[in-house]
A and B are shown apart, each in its own frame.
Chain A
Amino acid sequence: MNDIISQNLTVLIKNIKDKKISSEEVTKSFIKKAEKAKTLNCYITEDFDSAIQKAKKFDSKPNFKCKLPGIPIAVKDLFCTNGVKTTAGSKILNNFIPTYESTVTQNLWNEGGILLGKLNCDEFAMGSSNETSFFGNVQSPIDKNLVPGGSSGGSASALASNLTPITIGTDTGGSIRQPASFTGTVGLKPTYGSCSRYGIVAFASSLDQAGPMAKNVKDCALLHEVISSYDSKDSTSIDFKRNNYSELLTTNIKGKKIGIPKEYRVDGMPIEIEDLWTKGIEYIKECGATTMDISLPHTSYALPTYYIVAPAEASSNLARYDGVKYGFRSEGENLIDMYERTRSEGFGNEVKRRIMIGTYVLSSGYYDAYYLKAQKVRKLIKSDFDEAYKKVDAILTPSTPSSAFKIGEKTNDPVSMYLNDIFTVPVNLAGLPGISIPAGLDKKGYPLGLQIIGKAFDEQNLLNIAHAMEEKINFKNNIKEWWIK
């Protein structure tokens, strides 16, 4: 049984297709593993009984033409699942049962995937450590009392601890790449408009993207080709030719030019991260690609821009949670009082903080000074990338400015928490694809990731570069299953 759960997706699919194992066996193995891993607090909602029924149904009439034949998958609890509770990690949605399915999860089920359950995340995906969830923080499988990163922390932790063979997350400012980096897994934030936002609990609509998380680049490529689709139900979904990324995947990246942006060499960055980046540059050269120093001059303005744009959009998106039609309600003396009590008691501190920032920057008299200003700087940040891509095919940076930190270490200092996303946020502002791949361990044995940023809609090259580097890096994760007594 232990054998099954440690198999990567590609191997699992082959074994299912060869009828060496059944979907039921696979599903039960992951469920058994999850039942011993409650300490990690990965799941908000388990859908195990239903998963076993679906697996049996698959086995009775297997369709091996599917891309995910009978593969059980746990997903971030930000994706609406028809008939299965969807909370977004918030008290205000703690009893919400969607009457519709998100397009991205529907794509998984259409290809034979089976829902295992819903994974913990920061409340409304606002956080970098999974500590803002109403359902409690998630433990990292890497070490006790270590954050798995966020906001897709439950996804990263479940994947790294073999509770699910693959998973999906969402990334508004780094919420897939940063937890992937912290847990030694692979996480892709696709180009804005690649994956439908329909049925995903909205945080900041001009930045939100769903994306795959997996144990290796090939699995990630396969999962991406399943979830990426044009969808008329999302007005910003883009109709472009999508590849069968996993089939076209190659480690041949000869002649590619990779940019190294000097502005990502930030003050106070640990020497281990510097060294990792230098090693990454060597790996790229060994793969037959070349590197080139480039400049992204407005990099240091990305985080302040993000902390205007994202809260502004969030304050508008979260206005719908008023206790009237669904979710938590706190009764009041009159309608307004009910709204105010519901929102005060239903939202956690970080969400309230961001709604307040957003409301302030959009309020009368401040709009031009903050929101309009931020949109202009966002243009400059995007132009930096446009300029760079005239010279290079992709860009290599560290994924995060440090390895994972301890639970509670940054909770009292919001700005220091925000700084964790310094390398990932510019990618969302520019709408580009970015991938984090595990690249080494620091002296504590904690994983460190490298980020590759691609041109818009160029996921194939991005995945190829990641795949080539992965082969050179030959990463081995350091997980000792401390949670199993």
Chain B
Amino acid sequence: MAIDLKTVKHISKLARISLDDEKAKKLAGDLNSIFEFIEKLNKLNTDKIEPLTSIAETTLKLRSDEVKSKNIRDQILKNSPNENKDFFVVPKVVE
């Protein structure tokens, strides 16, 4: 099954990665060779096999919901790509 340019553009939308036509073409080529390699799995009949969803066979443990980190608001905001010291700022979303 070949992945065409339209599909690549669609996936890039889903993945929120903008792609120009040249990059999309190159990527289509790469993805096709990778999927050709992946298609080998179809040779196996897995109808009666249970999927392996987790390698660690444990049930998730419960813990009390309490704040453990100290007051690190300023340090966290320092990593923000914008200049504002009090909030994370994004382009306007509500008109």
Contact = CB atoms under 8 A, between A and B. Distances in A.
Interface stretch (A33-41, A58-66, A68-76, A300-308): A300-308
27 contacts: A192-B56, A238-B56, A304-B39, A307-B34, A307-B37, A322-B16, A324-B90, A326-B80, A327-B81, A334-B93, A340-B17, A343-B15, A343-B17, A347-B17, A353-B27, A356-B17, A357-B31, A360-B31, A370-B38, A373-B41, A375-B52, A376-B49, A376-B52, A378-B51, A414-B34, A415-B33, A430-B55
Contact of A343 (B16, B50, B78, B91): B16
Contacts of A378: 51-52
Interface stretch (A95-103, A140-148, A213-221, A268-276): A95-103
Interface string B25-46: 0010011011001111110101
Contacts of A344: 17-19
Contact of A376 (B30, B39, B46, B72): B46
Q: How large is the interface on A (under 10, 10 to 19, 20 to 34, 35 or more residues)?
A: 35 or more
Nearest to B82: A329
B4 to A, nearest CB: 12
Contacts of A375: 51-53
B77 to A, nearest CB: 9
Contacts, number: 157
A340 B18 contact: yes
Q: Which of B14, B38, B51, B91 is packed against the most chain A CB atoms within 10 Å?
A: B38
A289 interface: no
Interface of A: 95-97, 99-100, 192-193, 206, 232, 235-236, 238, 298, 300-301, 303-305, 307-308, 315, 319, 322-329, 331-341, 343-344, 347, 352-353, 355-357, 359-360, 363, 370, 372-380, 382, 414-415, 418, 430-431
Q: Which of B8, B17, B78 is packed against the most chain A CB atoms within 10 Å?
A: B17
Interface of B: 3, 7-8, 11-12, 14-19, 27, 30-31, 33-34, 37-42, 44, 46, 49-56, 58, 60-61, 63, 69, 72, 75-76, 78-82, 88, 90-93
A238 B58 CA distance: 8
B52 A236 contact: no
Nearest to A206: B55
Given A96-B79, A236-B54, A337-B18, 10 more contacts: A97-B75, A193-B55, A335-B91, A343-B15, A344-B18, A353-B34, A356-B12, A359-B14, A382-B55, A431-B55
Nearest to A428: B55
Nearest to A311: B34
Given A340-B17, A414-B30, A335 B93 contact: yes
Contact of A338 (B7, B75, B91): B91
A326 B79 contact: yes
Contacts of B34: 307, 353, 357, 414-415, 418
Nearest to B19: A344
B6 to A, nearest CB: 13
A356 B56 contact: no
Nearest to B51: A375
Contacts of A100: 69
Given A236-B58, A326-B79, A356-B27, A363 B11 contact: yes
A41 to B, nearest CB: 26
Contacts of A359: 11, 14-15
B55 A235 contact: no
Contact of A236 (B8, B17, B56): B56
A372 B51 contact: yes
